[in-house]
Each structure stands twice: as structure tokens, then as C-alpha cells.
Amino acid sequence: MRYRKRKYFLAGRINLIQRSKIRELFEKASKMEGVISLGIGEPDFDTPDVIKEAAKRAIDEGYTHYTPNAGIPEFREAIAEYYREFYRISVDPSNIIVTAGAYEATYLAFQSLLEQGDDVIIPDPAFVCYVEDAKIAEAGILRIPLREENKFRIDPDELVEMITKRTRMLVMNYPNNPTGATLDKKTAKAIGEIAEDYNIYILTDEPYEHFLYEGAKHYPMIKYAPDNTIIANSFSKTFAMTGWRLGFTIAPAQVIRDMIKLHAYVIGNVASFVQIAGITALRDRRSWEAVENMKRVYDERRRLVLKYLSKMPHLTPFRPKGAFYIWVKIDRELDMSSEDFADWLLENARVVVIPGTAFGKQGEGWVRISYATKKEQLIEAMERMQAALSKI
């Protein structure tokens, strides 16, 4: 069928959203041969077999119907159990909604908590969805810079300075995309206290909580401001389940009540057999063994890429202790913007990296490298970069 030419009346709201600036880079790369992409933000591992088998079994057993909007009770129990076992945090299953990934969880939080006249503080740089979520919620956006000298942690003093009567929410994301930074207890505590003192929400997006290296630990913000914290979390990274669209949110009862109203009419519920597989992911020892293995491999690659980058001319990496990204500073002498550099690298080394400005203004002068790519590819990409940069 061909659509006739006609005038379409579209809601202006959607124009508030900016499509990713890096699409052009990917489009250009897709037309070139032999390109290695270090731009990918998803695990290259396959979902552990034990989880796949659980989903197949669930379909055969008839988990093909609607479930309660908030999710299958046993699955929500398993999520609560997980917080108890890993972090000694007591969460009531009634405070959990199973969502279509962390994307949905953050969207629900923005829509339920913010409106015109409210401000949200979003780090700069930050993962791309928060700013777009804020725009659709018509909230005012303030960016708090993350600085290298603070190891890309939010500076509590700077945060206090930014808070006004309009401030409703702070977004946090540790281990961090794009910097690979992790949180420390002192900062977590200080931010928790600020959130309580000024009564602002913390929306904390924690999908990389298991990818930690060099002894780094995870400090879930719910521990430090339990009444103010909304968690967005996901199975996407931990269990290499990006395509399954499985995540959850944890929030205080009043907040959950509002979030579920929206969730019920947009998603209804996450696929029932996917939720059943989620129970296996959390409770079966074999899925955790797979997570440990992924973590070990990521760490090997992280060290490998850092080793190359530390010797490479014109680039200086920040040493990350979390997630699967490396945030790399471009030498000022090169006189190239992040976008120019990414473009230059694609042309001259056939390697894709993400310009730091995709994550905010503070990303100028930086690029993000993902090591969620096979070792051989990483080595090849590093050698090509080394060769290209040595010629400058």
C-alpha cells in the first residue's frame, strides 16, 4: 500500500525530542567497509542458556497471557529477595513494578513526578534518555557538571548550590555511562542527606551495578535516601538481555501508585514468559556464574584497551572502575572537536567511537569507547587507532 500525499496534523510534543546526533556517524559507517564499532552500548555476550531455557519452558507451560500490571508476584518477590541478599536492603514487593527495561522505568518516573514549573538536575555528561524524558515532561533542565578531578562523581557542594524551590529531582547513574565512573560511600551519603534535607527525589539508574573492577563497590542510593529514591534497573546489561526488554522500578508507595497507572495503559505488562525467565535469572546459580564470567572478560578487555590507550599519542583515558566504557580525552593540540575527532577516526582508522558531546556539553573534548566487543576486534581497533594517530 502507498500512502497518499496529505497533510498530517502531528502533536508538537514529539518535536521536543531530539533524535540521537550520532545517527549520522553510524549511517556513514554503515556505508564503509571493514569498520569496527566501539560505539555499541550493549553486551556482545548472548543471554545465558539457563535463562533462555526458562523462557522456552514458560511458553510451553502457558505463560502466554496477561499478568498483573505490576508484574508476576513471584518475580517481584524474587527482586525483593535479590536486594536483601546483595545489599541487605529490605524492599516490599508492592513497591516494585516490572518494566520494559530501564528506559520505561525512567520514563514513568519523569512523567509521574515532574511537570511544567519543576526542575530536574541531570549530570553532564549523562546517558542520553534523561534529557529527552525531561523535555516530554516539560520540566526545566539543569545540568550539573561531572568533573575529571572529582572522578566524575557529583560534587555535593555544587549540588546544594544548584537547588532552588523548583528543584524536584536529581538523576544519578553509577556505575556510569559514558564515563565508567563509580560512586563512593561518602558521596552517596552526602547526596542522600541533601535529597532528604531539601526533599528532592533521586532517580537512580543502576543497570551496570554488577560491572565493577579493581575492588570498586556499588552503593545503591536507596540505602542513603530510602524515602526519596526511585530506582531504575534492568536485566539488559547484567544478564545480557537487551532484547528481552526486562527491567523494574522501585519507589515509595505513593509514587508507585501513580507510575502504575501510566504503565498499565502503555505497556500493560511485560511479556509473561520473559518475567518467568527473570525469576530464573535472579535465583539460579548458573546465571550468576555467567555474570561473573562476563565481568571477568570485561575486566580483561578494559585493561587491554587501557594499556593501548595509555601509550597512544594524543589521547588520555580516564581509568574507569565500572560499566563497559572508557572515557577518553582528546589532546587540545589536535584542535579537533569531539565530533571532528570521531569523524576523523572513522575516515582514517575505520573505527567508530562516540563523540562526548552526545552526552552533554561537558563531553566536548572527549569520546566514549565501548569494550563490549570481542577481544580480537578490540586489538585490531586499537592498532588501527595507534597507526592513524601516530601519523599526525
- Hey, which bits of the chain come out as E strands? 36-37, 96-99, 119-124, 140-145, 167-172, 201-205, 229-234, 247-250, 315-317, 325-330, 351-352, 354-355, 366-370
Instruction: For residue 287, state whether it binds ligand PLP (rule: CB under 6 A).
Output: no
Instruction: For residue 320, state whether it binds ligand PLP (rule: CB under 6 A).
Output: no
Q: Residue 211 in 3-state DSSP?
A: coil
The CA distances from residue 279 to 74, 84, 92, 311, in Å, are 8, 15, 16, 45
Bridge partner residues of 202 (DSSP)? 170, 229
Output 233 or 385, the one with its CB closest to ligand PLP: 233
Bridge partner residues of 99 (DSSP)? 247
Q: How far apart, in whole angstroms, are the C-alpha atoms of residue 250 and residue 196?
A: 17
Least distance from ligand PLP to the Cβ atom of residue 114, Å: 18
Instruction: For residue 273, state whether it binds ligand PLP (rule: CB under 6 A).
Output: no
Instruction: For residue 359, state whether it binds ligand PLP (rule: CB under 6 A).
Output: no
Least distance from ligand PLP to the Cβ atom of residue 102, Å: 4
Q: What is the DSSP string of 135-192?
A: HHTT-EEEEEEP-GGGTT---HHHHHHH--TTEEEEEE-SS-TTT-----HHHHHHHH
Could you say which residues in the range 171-190 bind ligand PLP, by CB under 6 A? 173, 177
Least distance from ligand PLP to the Cβ atom of residue 233, Å: 8
Least distance from ligand PLP to the Cβ atom of residue 323, Å: 8
Instruction: For residue 47, state whether it binds ligand PLP (rule: CB under 6 A).
Output: no
Least distance from ligand PLP to the Cβ atom of residue 349, Å: 24
Could you say which residues in the range 73-132 bind ligand PLP, by CB under 6 A? 101-103, 127
Instruction: For residue 386, state whether it binds ligand PLP (rule: CB under 6 A).
Output: no
Among 69, 242, 337, 377, binds ligand PLP (CB under 6 A): 242
Instruction: For residue 362, state whether it binds ligand PLP (rule: CB under 6 A).
Output: no
Q: How far apart, in whole angstroms, are the C-alpha atoms of residue 29 and residue 334?
A: 23
Output 76 or 350, the one with its CB closest to ligand PLP: 76
Instruction: For residue 269, state whether it binds ligand PLP (rule: CB under 6 A).
Output: no
Bridge partner residues of 355 (DSSP)? 367
Among 236, 269, 272, 287, binds ligand PLP (CB under 6 A): 236
C-alpha cell at 77: 518477590
Could you say which residues in the range 1-20 bind ligand PLP, by CB under 6 A? none
Could you say which residues in the range 154-173 bind ligand PLP, by CB under 6 A? 173
Q: Tell me the site size for ligand PLP, rule CB under 6 A.
A: 13
Least distance from ligand PLP to the Cβ atom of residue 67, Å: 19
Could you say which residues in the range 291-310 bind ligand PLP, by CB under 6 A? none
Instruction: For residue 370, state whether it binds ligand PLP (rule: CB under 6 A).
Output: no
In Å, how far from its chain's centre is CA 73?
Answer: 26
Output 204 or 349, the one with its CB closest to ligand PLP: 204
Output 105 or 336, the one with its CB closest to ligand PLP: 105
- Within 10 angstroms of residue 172's Cβ, the number of other Cβ atoms is 23
Number of continuous H segments (helices) and E segments (strands) in the chain = 12, 13
Q: How far apart, in whole angstroms, are the C-alpha atoms of residue 301 and residue 298?
A: 5
Output 130 or 308, the one with its CB closest to ligand PLP: 130
Instruction: For residue 234, state whether it binds ligand PLP (rule: CB under 6 A).
Output: yes
Q: How far apart, in whole angstroms, are the C-alpha atoms of residue 340 and residue 143?
A: 24
Could you say which residues in the range 188-207 bind ligand PLP, by CB under 6 A? 205, 207
Q: How far apart, in whole angstroms, are the C-alpha atoms of residue 240 and residue 224?
A: 28
Contact 256, 95 (CB under 8 A): yes
**Footprint of ligand PLP (CB under 6 A):** 41, 101-103, 127, 173, 177, 205, 207, 234, 236, 242, 247
